[in-house]
Amino acid sequence: MNQVEELERAILARAERLASEYRERAARSRDSILREAAERLRLRETREEAVAKALAERSFRQRVQASELKMQTHLDRMRWNLVLDVERRLADRMRAFMEDEPTYDAWLSALIVEAAGVIESPAIRITANAHDQRRLFMNWDAVVAALPHDKDATLAPAPEAIDTLGGVLVTSADGRIRVDHTFEGRLDRLRPRLQQTILERLLPGGFDTGNLFNG
């Protein structure tokens, strides 16, 4: 074998080794690229899944909140209707009470005495609806006799009768101090207690929508 042949074989052997190395490098690169692509795909899928989950949760929360608002609106309407129904019943009871004239007259007199004790002014003025003003006029001596001796009471004239179901409005002579003992005035003051009573007696579970949705 001459030197030329040996050189050729050496070159071929070197070429084969280089080719083998390049094939291995190419295989490693391909595997690395595939792994990176798979990882990127996995991360992308994970992100998309997280986004989809977040969107689904937000949509669910929105639906729950909308349901809660709708339920709360319904419950508020129910509560208001209950209050109105109780007020109507109270008005009916008041009208029945007013038909018992001796008892009602005594009650009006008691309201006036109570208001007179609150108003510091020695002179007080009493106003009621047209019917009650006539009743008070007829029983005026008894009303005055029930008042403290230091109080001077005046009954408003008929044209100044007020629009009320019953009861009296008592003011100081100058009108600066007033005690509203009309049916409507007393009802306004009692309304918070009235609503609380409705909640406690008629709806012992209350109006907490959180129990419906959150357990």
pLDDT digits (tens, 9 = 90+) for 103-115: 999 999 999 999 9
What is each CA distance from 77 to 70, 71, 136, 187, in whole angstroms? 11, 10, 40, 20
Residue 81 · residue 116 · CB < 8 Å: no
pLDDT at 117 over 50: yes
How would you class 79 by CB atoms within 10 Å of its CB: exposed for 0-12, middle for 13-18, buried for 19 or more? middle
Reduce the DSSP state of residue 49 to 3 states and report it: helix
CA 88 – CA 187 distance, rounded (Å) = 11
Look at residue 134 in the predicted model and tell me its pLDDT: 95
* Residue 214's pLDDT band (cuts 50, 70, 90): very low
* Residue 176's pLDDT band (cuts 50, 70, 90): very high
Residue 48 in any domain: the answer is no
Residue 23 in any domain: the answer is no
Residue 58 in any domain: the answer is no
Residue 129 in any domain: the answer is yes
> Which tens digits make up the pLDDT trace of 123-150?
999 999 999 999 999 999 999 999 998 9
- Average pLDDT in the chain: 86
Q: What is the DSSP letter of 160?
A: G
pLDDT at 209 over 60: no
Residue 40 in any domain: the answer is no
Residue 96 in any domain: the answer is yes
- DSSP bridge pairs for 152: 123
pLDDT at 208 over 70: no
Residue 53 in any domain: the answer is no
Q: Between these two residues, 139 and 81, which has the higher pLDDT value? A: 139
Look at residue 84 in the predicted model and tell me its pLDDT: 81
CA 80 – CA 199 distance, rounded (Å) = 11
Q: How many CB atoms lie within 10 A of CB 181?
A: 22
Look at residue 203 in the predicted model and tell me its pLDDT: 64
Q: Is the pTM of this model over 0.75?
A: no
Residue 198 · residue 82 · CB < 8 Å: yes
Residue 115 in any domain: the answer is yes
- The helix-helix angle for 3-99 and 101-118 (nearest 10°) equals 110
Task: Please name the amino acid found at residue 150.
Answer: D
Number of domains in the chain: 1
Q: Between these two residues, 122 and 207, which has the higher pLDDT value? A: 122
pLDDT at 212 over 70: no
**Residue 128 backbone dihedrals phi, psi, to 5 degrees:** -150, -175
CATH number at 165 reads 3.30.2320.30
H or E element in which residue 34 lies: helix 3-99
- CA-based nearest residue to 193, from 90, 71, 103: 90
> Which tens digits make up the pLDDT trace of 18-66?
778 878 888 888 888 888 888 888 888 888 888 888 888 888 888 888 8
- Domain of 185, in residue numbers: 91-201
Look at residue 206 in the predicted model and tell me its pLDDT: 52
CA 76 – CA 194 distance, rounded (Å) = 15
pLDDT at 215 over 50: no
